[in-house]
Structure 1
Amino acid sequence: MSTTDAGPATITLTEAELDPYVTHASTRRWLTGPGLPGDSGLFTFAELRREGLRTVGDSTGDMDCPAPDLCAQLVIGGLLGPGGRETESVLLDGATGEISTTRYLHDRPGLMGRRPLAPSLERLVRFATATDELAALRGRFASYEGRFGPKAVAEASRQLLAVFKEGTGGEVPPFWKMAALIRPLSLVAGPGTPAGLALDLPARLLDQEFGRGKVARFEDVDFPATLTHEPTRRFLRETGLPEDAFLFHLDTDVPLATLAEYYAEDPSVELPDRATHLIRLGDLVEDNSLVIDGETGAVLNWSEPEAALYPLNTDVSTLGFTLWLLHRERAIDEDPSNGLTAETRDQLAAMMIQVLSTVDPTGTRTQPGRHYWTEWFRGEAGGASGAL
């Protein structure tokens, strides 16, 4: 096995290393020629570099082989999820050159199966390169630098989908269909605002998503005196937040209250420090509240059962983006024309986490298991095992 100096350590194999595993002619030419990228935002082939070619049967060790066809597949890499964790194994069929993925189900080997990913290594590399170019706004997506909003999202989605349709006969595997629908969502909001917030949301983004009359805007009389963070006050006055979003219900019946005011009649609740400076915006599910630090504008999750505060969003602008993203996820998942199924929910959830962490890295800096939005998406994925 060798690497080249063309870019980040391209992985190639010798003819001898391919025997007897790979008999497909064009796949042999690709692995001895262009090879596989040593660096990708979607995949890792580090195991191939370290271990060489091996079958699923070799990787599962003493576990009973669930199906001869699956166990004969070659493990060449891993699909990367949030935080760079390998979520699925990438498999190569040495006889046909087709690429698929599988999850290692330790306690349910009989349920292990293959999910189509690409018709060939050449297409796999091409699709991954296009997705990485979108993430970095370079190459064929360089023209999107500085462009934001729903129109940019729609155009980038169509352009990425067109790449995926090439060489697949128009039958785009679900993974890439989701990538084309979800990865461009990060383009909906621009970075930073003169007002001091993390994102510059398009003026009518939330109204268009949730419907006119379903986004609440506040007046100064609604704010507690301890809400002194002016960018937050301005956002709540001018942009507002949806009254009923997925997982979140905004308090609109009475002026916003601090945690100290909200629990004034229930002294049994153990409140956090500075409860008079934490303004409750509304309900999350399972006895959690969404609160804002009135001085800094940070958005937090107050867990009443745990009597604990956890970071949730950088500020109200990234909160607005998150609520928009959650609503988009439901629409994408429920649209039958997208062809998504319960079997692809884990991949859908992983892509949503990646988009959210790209726009608001709060979840990546939070103690594992303590970021509300991330944990909800992971729950959607069903807790399946990872790569082999």
Structure 2
Amino acid sequence: MSTTMTTYAGDTAIILTEAELGPYVTHASTRRWLTGPGLPSDSGVLSFAELCREGLRTVADSTGDPDGRLAAELRDQLVIGGLLGPGGLETESVLLDGATGEVSTTHFLHDRPDLMGRRPLAPSLRTLVRFAEATDELAGLRGQFASYVGRYGPQAVAEASRHLLAVFEEGTDGEPAPLWKMAALIRPLALVAGRAGASGLALDLPPRLLDQEFGQGRVARFEDVDFPATLTHEPTRRFLREVGLPEEGYLFSLDIDVPLRTLAEYCADENLTTELPSRADHLIRIGPLVEDNSLLVDGETGAVLNWSEPEARLFPLNTDVSTLAFTLWLLHREQAIDEESGHELTTGTYDQLAMTMLQVLSTVDPTGTRAGRNGRHYWTEVFQDEASGVLESVGGVR
């Protein structure tokens, strides 16, 4: 079964025919939507590529479920697409109830269909499309969020958050699904820092942002005497002097008891016999990460790297110290928001929160979520491990 791609007013939509809907969709307004406006073919939030490839099919058809272990409430749900994470990869399957028009999500567990469940997403396709469009407009600062172009800082974040939440609450009796609540609280955080380049780095952080978030006296600033001679990248030196970094971050802490050392000096002082990378005397160790990893700054370029001591390998971490500071601020802000909400963000939906956080980070700093040639990346692995329940500690270095 194939669907139709229809172009109108410059947009392309996925349209189904009455025959394709067949007995699958009996809900009248949902049938009208699928044969009329249809579903967006280009969205940063949703993908309906599977619907184009496979047509309408049930969860039972998708799993096979030879042993009948699939829950009855899932069997006749229709698989129509997926939620998109960073890099355009699908994270969860989007389901449509053909009888009620309600939309939900599930993780396919082909080996254990008895463990599969549903999570609410939207009361209708119309609402789902509207929510996805609003989220895309915020990411692109267009449409109803066009007025935020050039506006950055905590006030812009707060206003955009209220704006997006109001969109999500409309039509859901004030109770949007958890994914949209966390989107309204987390996605606007990308607006906290400017991109004008005044600092010479990727981001221009608002004055005292880190002090306000981590607390007075918990942000370390350095003096020129603390810098190795090979730290010659002036925007990095200025940032570390004037803005600083939090002494304790998410699975990270600063080396504050001694002047900053090059990787070569650090390994010599700690009697480490690991093989060093080239230019080890130009790589400045800022502090430890978890599991024998170190955070480094390239003294010439300002790039922020992850040094794996067991593997004796370098991996990209952040574009520079400004995006590193943003990442640490983002993680701390999420924890504070979660506590303020009574842990509503992380109760049974941490995988969706991890996806949302990675999307924000990829918007502000693509290096922060771009895997290296071997497919690994520190922040991505941290989020994914949290979502899988591998890490139990939050904050500090284990």
| Corresponding letter in the other structure for 1:10 | A
Segment of structure 1 superposing worse, 6-15 or 144-153? 6-15
Report whether the alignment pairs 1:161 with 2:162. no
Q: Tell me the distance in 1 between the aligned counterparts of 2:147 and 2:40.
A: 24
Return the TM-score normalized by structure 2: 0.93
Partner of 2:329: 324
Q: Deviations over 1:211-247 (max 9, x none)?
A: 0110010010111111111000000000000001111
Displacement, 1:335?
A: 3.0
Report whether the alignment pairs 1:46 with 2:49. yes
Segment of structure 1 superposing worse, 185-194 or 215-224? 185-194
Partner of 1:106: 110
Equivalent residues of 1:64, 1:109 under 8 A apart: no
Q: Indicate which of 116, 119, 131 corresponds to 2:120.
A: 116
| Corresponding letter in the other structure for 1:27 | T
Q: Greater relative contact order (Cα 8 A, min sep 6): structure 1 or 2? A: 1
Q: Secondary structure at 2:337's aligned position in 1? A: helix
Q: Tell me the distance in 2 between the aligned counterparts of 1:269 and 1:152.
A: 47
Once the two structures are superposed, the pairs formed by residues 42-191 of structure 1 within 5 Å of their partners are 42-65=45-68, 66-191=70-195
Q: Indicate which of 290, 294, 315 corresponds to 1:285.
A: 290
Partner of 1:306: 311
Displacement, 1:369?
A: 4.1
**Structure 1's 13 and 171: CA in aligned 2 closer, same or farther, altered over 3 A?**
same
Displacement, 1:93?
A: 0.5
Partner of 1:27: 30
Displacement, 1:86?
A: 1.1
Q: Secondary structure at 2:40's aligned position in 1? A: coil
Segment of structure 1 superposing worse, 152-161 or 49-58? 49-58
Q: Tell me the distance in 2 between the aligned counterparts of 1:221 and 1:47.
A: 58
Q: Indicate which of 377, 381, 385 corresponds to 1:375.
A: 381
**Structure 1's 124 and 64: CA in aligned 2 closer, same or farther, altered over 3 A?**
farther
Partner of 1:234: 238
| Corresponding letter in the other structure for 2:23 | P
Q: Tell me the distance in 2 between the aligned counterparts of 1:338 and 1:261.
A: 43
Structure 1 unpaired stretches of 5+: none
Q: Tell me the distance in 2 between the aligned counterparts of 1:175 and 1:87.
A: 13
Q: Indicate which of 207, 212, 230 corresponds to 1:208.
A: 212
Structure 2 unpaired stretches of 5+: 391-398
Report whether the alignment pairs 1:13 with 2:16. yes
Displacement, 1:365?
A: 5.2
Q: CA RMSD in A?
A: 1.6
Q: Deviations over 1:67-107 (max 9, x none)?
A: 12201001111111121111111111011110000001133
Report whether the alignment pairs 1:315 with 2:320. yes
Percent identity of equivalent pairs: 75
Partner of 1:3: 5
Equivalent residues of 1:284, 1:290 under 8 A apart: yes
Q: Tell me the distance in 2 between the aligned counterparts of 1:160 and 1:109.
A: 35
Displacement, 1:326?
A: 1.2
| Corresponding letter in the other structure for 2:97 | D
